[in-house]
Amino acid sequence: MHAVAQDCSKRIFRTTKKEHFENFNGKITIVNKNTIKYDDRVIEIWNADSLIMLIFEKGILHPEIVVGDFPIKTKSQLDSLTEDQKILYNLTRSDSSIVSNIESVTLGDESSKIKRFKILAWKKSLLNPSLYYFELTNENANDKTDFKTFILGAKLTIFKFCSILI
């Protein structure tokens, strides 16, 4: 792991107060093995195995968390915008995104109830990905809990931006 990213992960996981993020509560549709639709927003997940895909399929990570919850405009609403407003809207839209390079992160202080990861996320309007770190907590897990069972009982407790990669 690059030194800056490693410092960022330590800072995030050691200083961030744990939260309870809600799982997605709308309609989740598996479009294909790499694409999931959450109501009217889509995430493409690149290079993830079926166990990592569970994090998205169960709505633990979803577009509102990864890229934000900006309103999606209709065609008539878009047509009514000025050119400057259209540019701003396109920079902030969150209806389609890509995530990849989801990797486990260990700092040496994890319990069997916690799993930590890093992820790259591309917003539709940006060429460079953003690096995020997240933590899943399963209060019922122990040393014998397999990964699938861990994910099925996990809650997202940390999701933090680290950097835009250049």
Average pLDDT over residues 84-101: 75
Tokens 């099925």: give the residue.
152
CB half-sphere exposure, 117, CA atoms < 13 A: 21
Domain that holds residue 131: 3-164
Q: Which two tokens stand for residue 25?
A: 């509560």
Number of domains in the chain: 1
pLDDT digits (tens, 9 = 90+) for 33-80: 999 999 988 899 999 999 999 999 999 999 889 876 656 667 787 788
**Sign of the CA dihedral running 41, 66, 127, 70:** positive
pLDDT digits (tens, 9 = 90+) for 100-142: 999 999 888 779 999 999 999 987 767 789 999 999 999 999 9
Task: Quote the pLDDT of residue 154.
Answer: 97
Q: Which two tokens stand for residue 8?
A: 């960022």
pTM for the whole thing?
Answer: 0.84
Q: Which of 3-12, 66-75, 85-94, 145-154 has the highest mean pLDDT?
A: 145-154
Tokens 């940006």: give the residue.
126
Task: Give the C-alpha separation, 36 to 50, whole Å.
Answer: 13
pLDDT digits (tens, 9 = 90+) for 3-16: 656 788 889 999 99
